[in-house]
Chains A and B, each alone.
Chain A
Amino acid sequence: MNSTAPSPVRAGDPASQTADAVPAVDVKGVTKRFGATEVLQGIDLSVPAGATTCLIGPSGSGKSTLLRCIAFLEEATTGTIAIHGDPLGFAEGPDGKRTRLSPQAIRTVRSRIGMVFQQFNLWPHMTALGNVCEALVTVRKMKRKDAEERGMAQLTRVGLANRAAHYPSELSGGQQQRVAIARALALDPEILLFDEPTASLDPELTGEVLNVMRDLASSGMTLLVVTHEIGFAATVGQRIAFLDHGRLLLNGSPREVFGEPRHPRLAQFLETYLDRGAATLL
């Protein structure tokens, strides 16, 4: 707590700052206010491409808000966010002034991001396959047959090919969340965002969802995961970012973040999450 500097460790070293090293998500000076409360108090975070980054922190620390800002479901009050170097929502001129981009530009950048929600948010009037294919047909203008082929491939990937014709109400929570992941994957996103994907699930159903996420992580996709599953974060996450009271306190590899000497706020936080796999870290 010696300074408000966002991280004790920065990703990469100056030597590797080539074109390849452009971060998948680059968050600069983002603040977010809801009325009088400042939920995010100036976040700088770069999410490396091809790796899994886990955002952890106590409830109300602003992790979900940060993720929703990156998805542009919320608009940051100040600051900028870039996806692979392309500004999302707002561009910053040389004079430091923010200007809003055209809706078309926002849609283009945003189409490179996929999102998985805590509440799944499957559309109840469509089957599992219908959910996965919807945007392929209506947005990407694919032929129904091609879309279904691609949709089935994604359902197979999450192990639900045999549930394609089921409606969400006929699926368990874990299955619904896996369909939601397939729905996001079908659009071939460069970055996949997860907003507490297992928080609404019964404990015995979290495993199947975490396994799918593990597979995605090992396939080299860029994942940004807000989670309370500390065990998952420590074993699958290649980068850990710890938020507290709207500030990014720590950002580094699991070893750097969880290892000794441990930040006192993190130690305090881990104490309350012993049952979520944090015990192994103590």
Chain B
Amino acid sequence: MSLDFGLILKQMPDILSGLWVTLWMWIVATLLGAALGFLVAVGRRYGPAPLDWLLKLCVEMLRGTPFLVQLFLLYFGGPFIGLRLEPIPAGLLGLTVYAAAYFSEIFRAGFQAVPKGHVEAADMAGLSRAQILRRIILPEMTMLVLPQCVNMAIVLIKETAILSIITVPEMTMVIGAIGSQQYAFVDAMFLLAIIYWVLVEICGFLGRLAEARLSKFRFAAS
């Protein structure tokens, strides 16, 4: 067999609109998910014990079930409890909540990884709890969790493909549809795979670049 992307690439405007939907939904869900995940991590660390248990239960339920099932529950089950969402809002909400669960675990580990002595030194220097959080814990944590956050962003761009199953007009759905119309589905999937591959490699490259720039702040070996 031979691959022919020509038929598919003729539909460039459609492909670009699909790419656009993929990219903006990915970026928005990643940012919102990280923000929500951070709040969850802070709530679990500094909030009362019952809040910690409740959040832990939610996080573990989200981490223990497939994204597809969560999406089906939200999109098909939602209307039965009065939550009737169009595909794009449903997809965005589902992806954000899913991302938040994983991000919260990354940040939780980050909090724990900041050496206790660094906080004690700040305490001895007279910094208040808020100052210690803002000036010491958060910057140190950012360096510690950056690789995992980049990793999670890469996981999420791949998860956006699943949104096509609930008919979000993103890249997988658009290119799949073109492939079916043109009787060139395999060619379409190859092209799609290559586009995702390139996106993931770019994301990984940028992540490594950022890590290298931060390497100066690595923990000093004692």
A residues bordering B, Cβ < 8 Å?
71, 73, 107, 110-111, 113-115, 117, 119-125, 134-135, 138-140, 167-171, 173, 176, 180, 183-184, 187, 200
Contacts and interface: CB of A to CB of B under 8 A. Distances in A.
B127 A135 contact: yes
Contacts of B220: 120, 122, 124, 167-169, 171, 176
A73 B120 CA distance: 7
A237 B125 CA distance: 25
A267 to B, nearest CB: 33
Contacts of B218: 124, 169
A156 B143 CA distance: 30
Main secondary structure of the interface of B (DSSP, over half): helix
Contacts of A187: 125-126
B13 interface: no
B117 interface: yes
A117 B117 contact: yes
Contacts of B217: 124-125, 167, 169
Interface stretch (B27-35, B47-55, B132-140): B132-140
Contact of A120 (B123, B216, B222): B222
Given A134-B125, A139-B131, A200 B222 contact: yes
Contacts of B192: none
A183 B140 contact: no
A138 B135 CA distance: 9
B222 A170 contact: no
Given A120-B222, A121-B115, A167 B216 contact: yes
B121 interface: yes
B58 to A, nearest CB: 32
Given A119-B222, A121-B120, A170 B127 contact: no
Contacts of A170: 216
